[in-house]
Structure 1
């Protein structure tokens, strides 16, 4: 049967068409992944991709990198710590005076376009301390049916952030915001919400039922705060999601900003009761009802963080909901593979 030869030019056109389609379509058919691309806010010279051999070599050559997760049914996933892995290549923003990592996040994407965001702070041992891993073995054997690697987030209520057929890890970073200064008197919920709303101490207290939380971790052990749920407050403004994209909420994050320019990123999947389900309070008083004083009228309180109060953003001025751009790294990485394949097909045997 006659077979038409496809030129490198045609492969290039096909690749570009695929990329444009991928950027405009929420998902495409999943294929079994054999490598993932790594990009974004990383040090120059960082590896561009990892396959199974490279991932296993990373685990063998980096002390403490290999981690396991044991499920309630007895299954054991083996892989590398997502936090430590990304930390090996992460760039430092020298313009940020304190806790630069709180501005970092990663978008994990599968070959079907499914994606989930993780803040780097939620995995960091000094803050959220979640044991999320890039798994490459299940019960001692290579993964079957979920690609050579997948994300496993054992602390999540549901497995929505367990991205299978892992194809891309893209690290993002929030640039340092110029300081406004002073004690805050209001903040605004904005970004990808149906309606932007500004709150002062009176309207915040009236917006939702008050909650009182006790902090049992340093540096605020023994403190208590009164406020409202961050997740519930964001939902009052109506988080905008695409109903055509499965778990679209997992591709979004919120940036909390203080008047001094201090910021912290929270993945909405970390806050969502169906997934990470962590409790974050937008506090407007201490546990006895007294004002927060020089912390402004409102402060984020993250009672589950283990060692530092770094995500306690004081003098709150804004809560901005942001959606990640669809698969910038995955599309380019996949396109490069298609182009390389096309060039190999086009090259005549010697």
Structure 2
């Protein structure tokens, strides 16, 4: 879906294009000042909160990507150049709980536009070791073969979401990136085989599911390597209990996320935008069988996410799935 992507070591060329876009060089100090003025604030659970300028972005290894997505029912194609979103978060120093295995997988980044519009990317979705979604902070767009600034309705910086069906997670006029730990509250039970799990949080009818309850729902499958998992789509499961999201918010699923917890306390988060068929459309599965042999020691259910570099977000012996909205207890 996201088409071609290439890495370009062109910090100088990108800075020159930005300077030209700001009104030309020629020693105009106001143009240079525009490049170093912070345009995006990075904060939350990071070691080095800071303001990121266009010059900072242009000094990073540049990524050019051609993306296609729908705006309403109208397809759009854009070629953007920017800096890796993951690298910008990494520069800020993502905080982790060292006592919790792969704690980064239960954290998320909240992207906010100048109009207050917000979307979530989980860090597991973005991490090159796991979901590897190549989102960038775009600051240039190629039109008719020429690089220029983003148009006024999109820029100066826009987050991209390559592979998404619709452009809801392409946050225009980005002003903030904040990292948060999840709001998950269900503790582990000390490990062991789980007979059931409960779905709770921002849902209309919290419910528990054992094997029989899962098997009564529409069946889905995902193949990962030599393993074929059968179970229930996570998106379908959440809609079975009903999502309780704020009606006043545009694209409310995009500012919500789910956290899966195993009996040993291991956690992984999935943004609802990642699995919503209208946006990320990733087929995350609550599996109850693998290769026709059940799950055995892995419990009644496990979270399975296709297309990952590493399956760190595969949560076995599932005991809880909690749904949260940005701005809830974690924030």
Query: TM-score, normalized by length of structure 2?
Result: 0.80
Which runs of 5 or more residues in structure 2 are unaligned?
A: 1-36, 69-75
Does the 8 A contact of 2:166 with 2:279 survive in 1? yes
Shift of 1:147: 2.4
For 1:271-315, what per-residue CA distance to the aligned partner results, in whole angstroms no more than 9, with x for missing partners?
101111001110111231x2211111101111221x211111000
Alignment of 1:304-315 (within 5 A): 304-305=307-308, 307-315=309-317
Shift of 1:144: 1.9
- Give the counterpart of 2:222 among 204, 210, 213: 213
**In structure 2, C-alpha distance between the alignment counterparts of 1:92 and 1:166, rounded to whole Å:** 22
Could you list the runs of 4 or more consecutive aligned residues of structure 1 that deviate by over 4 angstroms after TM superposition? 175-178
For 1:84-120, what per-residue CA distance to the aligned partner results, in whole angstroms no more than 9, with x for missing partners?
2212223342443421220121000001111100011
- Give the counterpart of 2:171 among 146, 163, 171: 163
Paired residue total: 280
Cα RMSD of the aligned pairs, angstroms, is 2.1
**In structure 2, C-alpha distance between the alignment counterparts of 1:266 and 1:106, rounded to whole Å:** 12
Tell me: CA distance 1:101–1:196, structure 2 relative to 1, closer, same or farther (3 Å). Answer: same
- In structure 2, the partner of 1:317 is 319
- In structure 2, the partner of 1:268 is 272
Query: TM-score, normalized by length of structure 1?
Result: 0.76
For 1:2-35, what per-residue CA distance to the aligned partner results, in whole angstroms no more than 9, with x for missing partners?
xxxxxxxxxxxxxxxxxxxxxxxxxxxxxxx971
- In structure 1, the partner of 2:66 is 70
Q: Which has the higher helix share?
A: 1
Matched, 1:287 2:291: yes
**In structure 2, C-alpha distance between the alignment counterparts of 1:71 and 1:304, rounded to whole Å:** 19
For 1:210-259, what per-residue CA distance to the aligned partner results, in whole angstroms no more than 9, with x for missing partners?
122211xxxxx211111010000001111112222110111100001001
Shift of 1:164: 0.4
Shift of 1:126: 1.9
Tell me: CA distance 1:136–1:224, structure 2 relative to 1, closer, same or farther (3 Å). Answer: same
- In structure 2, the partner of 1:303 is 306
**In structure 2, C-alpha distance between the alignment counterparts of 1:271 and 1:51, rounded to whole Å:** 32
Matched, 1:179 2:188: yes
SS in 2 for 1:71: strand
**In structure 2, C-alpha distance between the alignment counterparts of 1:130 and 1:266, rounded to whole Å:** 13
- In structure 2, the partner of 1:54 is 56
Shift of 1:175: 7.4
**In structure 2, C-alpha distance between the alignment counterparts of 1:264 and 1:39, rounded to whole Å:** 22
SS in 2 for 1:91: coil
Does the 8 A contact of 2:159 with 2:169 survive in 1? yes
Matched, 1:250 2:254: yes
Max radius of gyration: which structure?
Answer: 1
**In structure 2, C-alpha distance between the alignment counterparts of 1:302 and 1:284, rounded to whole Å:** 14
Matched, 1:105 2:115: no
- Give the counterpart of 1:149 among 157, 162, 169: 157
Alignment of 1:218-237 (within 5 A): 221-237=225-241
Alignment of 1:86-97 (within 5 A): 86-97=89-100
Q: Which has the higher contact order (CA 8 A, sep 6+)?
A: 1
Tell me: CA distance 1:325–1:94, structure 2 relative to 1, closer, same or farther (3 Å). Answer: closer
Shift of 1:266: 0.5
Q: Which has the higher strand share?
A: 2
Which runs of 5 or more residues in structure 1 are unaligned?
A: 1-32, 60-64, 216-220, 330-350
**In structure 2, C-alpha distance between the alignment counterparts of 1:304 and 1:168, rounded to whole Å:** 29
**In structure 1, C-alpha distance between the alignment counterparts of 2:56 and 2:131, rounded to whole Å:** 28
Shift of 1:51: 2.3
SS in 1 for 2:269: strand
